[in-house]
Amino acid sequence: MLYHLYEAQRALIEPFSDFAAVAAKLFATPTSPLAQTPFSQRIAAAYDLLHRLGKDYEKPEFGIRTIDIEGVSVAIHERVEIDKPFCQLRRFKRYADDPATLLRLKDQPVVLIVAPLSGHYATLLRDTVRTMLRDHKVYITDWKNARMVPLSEGDFHLDDYVNYVQEFIRYLQGQYGNCHVMSVCQPTVPVLAAVSLMASRGEKIPLSMTMMGGPIDARRSPTAVNNLALQRSYEWFENNVIYRVPAGFPGEGRRVYPGFLQHAGFIAMNPDRHVNSHYDYFQHLIQGDNESAEAHRQFYDEYNAVLDMDANYYLETIRTVFQEFKLVHGTWDVRSPDGRLERVRPQDIRGTGLLTVEGELDDISGSGQTRAAHDLCTGIESQHRHHFEVEGAGHYGIFSGRRWREKVYPVVRDFIRRHQPAAAGPDDAQAGDEAELLAAAIERDRRGAAVGPAANRRRRRQPGA
């Protein structure tokens, strides 16, 4: 019933939010008569803030169109490689017409970024993706809003999450020979389980695993998130935070943990910070500080956009990760797609690299929770394991913002490089051939030689990586 009330309230507020947006423009546009009145700038700022507090925030775009690589502008084409009922494997393919840049890109490592399924969209990792694209071929898990998934697609369980990750890893291995995997926050647990199961079966596993700010062992330095899971029973969560999707959505009737409840929990953790942030936004609008105001909009466009999670997945995560600690106790059994139960054994992982990253001030995944992966992965030799604590960084600072770009990323990049073999995969070899053909064509142009139709077609293709 709560979900239905929330949607009714949202529908009621929406017209007022739209009116506030129009009024803000009327009082802010210089050519408008209302903009000439006293206090027009303050009135416009107030209406603008009212609009943003009442509007519905939809899933943002990644919006990565180009990146700069050593002074060369490289175009980015975003596309879906695999479309699963609850997730898309999304690729960011790089294109350039500079032969030297293409030759540099073709042998770079392939990285699967596993984004968290914990209330926000994968676009929360936009800065992570943009930075990684400088030196890597990047794929990311783009989780779908459960209320948009029809009931005919079935339920989604924690086991399905683990199986999805394995499927994506196998796909990249088939395309390139192998890959690296990087998990941020919540997925550190299912990613470690996925790689463990592959290792136990004798399958090829990723060249390296980078785990950032995740609850591998949620008993260590417990945060408010951990304490809530321990203070409430499994039944309490099932009875108090699980609701059915109301009519009007493709997933009508699906049992979910609603995104608006998760968002309310995020806000409740630091209410003063958000109140001050919105007050500062109001002041920036009055002062005409458009740069600061736009930074606020960008942050909250992302922060306020939330998704629903299938109830089965959410409740199983609470029990497995935060209440029974099955991973660290060695009691976690995962059901494979063919129905077999398999024990998760991180100690079976060998021949790969393990990098863990934690923020000194992380208030979501406490100190030592991610580092615990080293205690579990005893089969990985010490020279292939590394832990990095980011001084002064909170949870988001380890994968977004200045600290991520200047402190964390160089460590991640260098660790992946150390575990990247020299041999190129099949796709890389093809990209290299195309790059060499393009380089030859451009060189002939420079010498004034005639270039035939075939070469022109090759140039128009703009090989990518």
216 and 372 in contact (C-beta within 8 Å)? yes
Task: Tell me phi and psi for residue 314, to 5 degrees.
Answer: -65, -50
Tokens of 352: 């790969």
When pLDDT is cut at 50, 70 and 90, the band that residue 359 belongs to is: very high
The closest alpha carbon to 209, from 182, 184, 171, 178, belongs to 182
Please tell me which residue, 405 or 432, carries the higher pLDDT value. Answer: 405
CA-based nearest residue to 100, from 71, 76, 75:
71
Higher per-residue confidence, 399 vs 436:
399
Asked if 17 and 51 touch (Cβ cutoff 8 Å), the reply is yes
Lowest mean pLDDT across 33-37, 86-90, 177-181, 380-384? 33-37
404 pLDDT higher than 50? yes
Cα 311 from Cα 345, distance rounded (Å):
26
Q: Report the share of the chain in percent with pLDDT over 90.
A: 77
Report residue 238's pLDDT band, with 50, 70 and 90 as the boundaries.
very high
Distance between CA 398 and CA 391 in Å, rounded?
10
Please give the pLDDT value at position 102.
Answer: 87
Segment 214-222 shows an average pLDDT of: 95
Q: What is the mean pLDDT of the chain?
A: 90
What confidence score (pLDDT) does residue 134 get? 96
β-bridge partners, 140: 90, 113
> Between these two residues, 316 and 452, which has the higher pLDDT value?
316
Q: Would the pLDDT of 242 be above 70? A: yes
* Nearest of 445, 431, 189 to residue 332 by alpha carbon: 189
Euclidean distance between CA atoms 138 and 135, whole angstroms: 9
| pLDDT tens profile 406-461 | 999 999 999 999 999 975 444 444 444 444 444 444 444 444 433 444 444 443 44
Q: Which residues contact 52 (CB under 8 A, 6 or more apart)?
A: 281, 297, 300
Q: Which helix (H) or strand (E) holds 111?
A: strand 110-114
SS3 content of the chain, % helix, strand, coil (to 5): 50, 15, 30
Nearest CA-CA partner of 298 in 38, 62, 37, 21: 62
With left for phi above 0 and alpha for psi between -120 and 50, is residue 401 left, alpha or beta?
left
Q: Cα(38)–Cα(27) distance, rounded to whole angstroms? A: 10
- What percent of the chain clears pLDDT 70, i.e. is strictly above it? 91
Which residues have C-beta within 8 Å of that of residue 18, sequence separation ≥ 6?
51
How long is the chain? Answer: 465
Nearest to 128 by CA among 167, 185, 174, 87: 185
How confident is residue 462, by pLDDT bands cut at 50, 70 and 90?
low
Q: What is the pLDDT of residues 101-115, one digit of tens each?
A: 888 898 899 999 999
Helices 426-446 and 453-461: angle between axes, nearest 10 degrees: 120
Q: Phi/psi at 139 (nearest 5 deg)?
A: -125, 150
Distance CA 25, CA 310 (A): 39
What are the tokens at 171? 């796909």
Per mean pLDDT, which range of 91-100, 304-313, 332-341 is the poorest?
A: 91-100
State phi, psi for 52 to the nearest 5 degrees.
-70, -30
Has residue 396 got a pLDDT over 70?
yes
Give the per-residue pLDDT at 21: 93
Could you tell me the pLDDT band of residue 37, with boundaries at 50, 70 and 90?
A: confident
pLDDT in tens, 60-114: 999 999 999 988 999 999 999 999 999 999 999 999 888 888 888 988 999 999 9
- Residue pair 111/132 in contact (Cβ under 8 Å)? The answer is yes
Q: Tokens standing for 209?
A: 């695993």
Amino acid 463: pLDDT: 59
| Res 26: pLDDT | 92
* Whether 209 contacts 198, CB under 8 Å: no
Domain annotation for the chain: domains and CATH numbers: 2-56+259-303 (no CATH), 66-245+308-418 (3.40.50.1820)
Q: How far apart are CA 389 and CA 169, in angstroms?
A: 27
Neighbours of 273 (CB within 10 A): 9
Predicted confidence at residue 441, as pLDDT, reads 44
Q: Is 199's pLDDT higher than 80?
A: yes
The pLDDT score that the predictor gives to residue 372 is: 97
Count the Cβ atoms, other than its own, within 10 Å of residue 265. Answer: 14
CA angle, corner 232, sides to 228 and 236, nearest 5?
A: 125
Instruction: Quick: pLDDT tens for 204-217.
Output: 999 999 999 999 99
For residue 87, CA distances in Å to 63, 84, 148, 149, 414 come to 19, 5, 11, 10, 29
